[in-house]
């Protein structure tokens, strides 16, 4: 390779590209203009894909933030022990248990009144 970055191949000069450094040794490949153009095109496509992935990561993090906020809102509304749906369910259960107790007492009272009326019809 000469000092201008060109290597001699079949008595013609072709540009050489340094692609990586491995074990203290530079690795070069021979490139002509069409290869260079194709390499630049692929490099630009990779850059665009990388940028798209970064944009997607940002969008996803914003969406996850919104989801976390809405989930915390739902969690608060469902499981708040004083005002949430959980407390309303507990109050409803307590009301049903208490109303079943009184329903039995009131039912026995009505049956007693009905029997008393029926008894009074036969005995009077």
Asked if residue 7 and residue 39 are part of one domain, the reply reads no
By the 8 A CB rule, do 30 and 14 touch?
A: yes
Task: Provide the whole-model pTM.
Answer: 0.38
Residues 27 and 81 in one domain: no
State how far the Cα of 5 lies from the Cα of 36, in Å rounded to an integer.
14
The total number of structural domains that make up the chain: 2
Does 87 share its domain with 109? Answer: yes
**Segments forming the whole domain that contains residue 94:** 32-123
pLDDT tens over the chain, length 124 residues: 444 444 444 444 445 555 555 566 665 666 677 777 888 888 899 999 999 999 999 999 888 888 888 888 888 877 777 777 778 888 888 888 888 777 888 888 999 999 999 999 988 7
């Amino acid at each position: 390779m000469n000092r201008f970055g060109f290597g001699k191949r079949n008595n013609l000069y072709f540009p050489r590209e340094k692609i990586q450094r491995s074990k203290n040794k530079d690795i070069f490949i021979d490139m002509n203009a069409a290869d260079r153009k194709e390499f630049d095109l692929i490099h630009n496509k990779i850059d665009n894909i990388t940028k798209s992935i970064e944009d997607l990561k940002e969008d996803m993090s914003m969406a996850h933030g919104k989801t976390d906020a809405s989930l915390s809102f739902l969690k608060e509304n469902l499981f708040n022990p004083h005002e949430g749906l959980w407390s309303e369910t507990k109050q409803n259960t307590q009301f049903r248990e208490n109303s079943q107790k009184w329903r039995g007492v009131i039912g026995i009272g009505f049956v007693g009144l009905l029997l008393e009326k029926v008894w009074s019809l036969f005995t009077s």
